[in-house]
Amino acid sequence: MPHSALQTPELNLEATSKSAPAAAGSRPMYYEYQPEETVKAQHGSTLRCKTWEAEAALRMLENNLDPAVSLVYDELIVYGGAGRAARNWKEYQTIVRALKNLEPDETMLVQSGKAVGVLRTWAHAPRVLIANSNLVPAWSTQEYFDELDKLGLMMYGQMTAGSWIYIATQGILQGTYETFAAVAARHFGGTLAGTVTVTAGLGGMSGAQPLAVTMNDGVCLVIEPIEERVRQKVREGYLDEQARDLDHALELCEQYRQQRRGWSIGLTGNAATVLPELLARGYKADIVTDQTSAHDLLDYIPEGDIATVLQLRQNDPDEFRRQALASIMKHCQAIIDMQTAGAVALDYGNNLRGQAEKGGMKVRDEHGQFLYPGFVPAYIRPLFCEGKGPFRWAALSGDPQDILRIDRALLETFPDDKLLARWIEKAQAKVPFIGLPARVCWLGYGEREKFGLVINDLVARGEVSAPIVIGRDHLDCGSVASPNRETEGMKDGSDAVADWPLLNALANCASGADWVSLHNGGGVGIGNSTHSGMVIVATGTPEKAERLKRVLTTDPGMGVLRHADAGYELAQDVARERGVQIPGME
């Protein structure tokens, strides 16, 4: 094993560590290793690594940390409360060095944000294998993880933070758009025009909700306790307007509801305070949901003065957790009460209901079903049965024209898909490029392979100026086991079976992906999910075309297999129609 690639860059040995305690305690961050220049993805066609595959991993790691993209740059937090790109700045430097030295037939191993080995493998093997936050099941608790995190032995990778394929808020936007489109189709005659959605959270993921609602022509009131995040989302274009206070917010909601105009309003406040106030006023929302970071109690902001509660998180984490849980229970109860009052309620997946249940609140009926459903079982699962999910690509050149050229190719490849055309039209008009230019698009089994080859051909012909990195969210059709979110309420009761994401990661390695990751706890917290990620780089070569065929068939195919096995007739029909081999199925 070549050790040289893993050596730490030379430093002044007399440097004093600036590692400041983070929210969870005193994890070492090694600020003396923080680069003097702010980390941003390199653009253009000049390589610093020995292959485009390693260069792509490096640029996407850098892109995750770009302050325009990341949540808390100094702590390497990308999104989702504490989802990191690397364990600390020292390990970031080691990863960068290893990627630059990586030979075309070597694979770097990353254990919870730390490069721990370089193996000689094959040119067609993954260049990077990543495992984040994984614990033996009986030890897979937030408390045990937090102790390891404080010692600098682990990090929380969320989903795409620790697997280096985050593309800012756009990454979840189309899935959120698809969800609200499904809500509109089922409950409001196909449009959200004339409706008001009330939600909470304006972080990297939750910030997609207001734009997704307005792209479906609805009004969205979103509550966020940190005022700067409200302002940031207005600056980015994901939010239309900031309200002065609740009265002003409701005036705006009614104004735009009456006009049947899509518009989003951000309100600085706490959902646990504001939602009960809306109920007390008798305010009638049409839809209520949430996407605050509730998977870790240290990431949910409890009621109270924001400066005071953030100081409490530093000084007394246990008391902060107690107050956070109390606020979560108020927040969750208010959603249930708004549903009782006539609103369509849905959970958007950061374990708010699960935390409230741990606090002793009744969140399920006599049959064990949640009192209000998660977005996947309620609206998205039919798409998963078809192998559909959040497929994404980014331009390693940094040139937005490359993405626009691929947009044109996408519409030419699927000319009869009117929903896809509508999405691209709205995305080009409303979605800003943040960091490396990127696009997300829900494509299914057969479609991903077809379009991956189109992208590779564009690279080969020079119609885009550098290779394109292709990946997806971990929230995909066949890559996650998450009983309180993606696999909630499975038809056969297999909600907690984690074999599927493990098989997904193994299958992507076997098929020739360029980097593969396997994480614990993304979206819903440690111990509550297992999920895998996949990335492959379209370099324009015939060899890469063969790997793209296999990877982009295998990966969504896992979704068809998983849902067919669970007894979903739609998935079984898709398998028969499209030639997915399932032993034992007639």
Binding site for NAD(+), residues?
80-81, 158, 224, 229, 270-271, 291-295, 300-301, 348, 523
User: At 275, which helix (H) or strand (E)?
Assistant: helix 271-280
CA 198, CA 250: separation in Å to the nearest integer?
Answer: 11
Largest CA distance in the chain: 69
CA 568, CA 565: separation in Å to the nearest integer?
Answer: 7
Closest CA to 472 of 430, 431, 444: 444
Asked if residue 286 lies in contact with residue 188, where contact means CB atoms within 8 angstroms, the answer is yes
- For the question of residue 509 being annotated catalytic, the response is no
CA 150, CA 571: separation in Å to the nearest integer?
Answer: 44
Closest CA to 209 of 244, 233, 182: 233
User: At 171, which helix (H) or strand (E)?
Assistant: helix 170-187
* Residue 532, strand partner residues: 518
Q: Give whole-number Cα distances, 247 to 221, 253, 274, 282, 498, in Å.
A: 12, 10, 11, 13, 47
Q: What are phi and psi of 243, to 5 degrees?
A: -85, 150
Which residue's structure tokens are 């000689």? 120
CA 326, CA 126: separation in Å to the nearest integer?
Answer: 45
CA 400, CA 204: separation in Å to the nearest integer?
Answer: 21
Helix, coil or strand: residue 574: helix
Give the number of C-alpha atoms closer than 13 A to the C-alpha of residue 550, restricted to the C-beta side: 14
Closest CA to 129 of 525, 506, 562, 398: 506
CA 179, CA 383: separation in Å to the nearest integer?
Answer: 10
CA 452, CA 519: separation in Å to the nearest integer?
Answer: 25
Which amino acid, one-letter code, is at 545? Answer: A
Closest CA to 395 of 458, 465, 449: 465
Which residue's structure tokens are 């949640």? 370
Question: Of residues 220, 253, 332, 441, which has the active-site annotation?
Answer: 441
> Which residues are known binding-site members?
80-81, 158, 224, 229, 270-271, 291-295, 300-301, 348, 523
CA 470, CA 579: separation in Å to the nearest integer?
Answer: 24
For 562-586, the three-class secondary structure string (H helix, E strand, C coil) is HHHHCCCHHHHHHHHHHCCCCCCCC
Asked if residue 147 lies in contact with residue 119, where contact means CB atoms within 8 angstroms, the answer is no
Closest CA to 87 of 106, 114, 60: 114
Retrieve residue 247's tokens.
């009265």
Residues labelled catalytic: 441
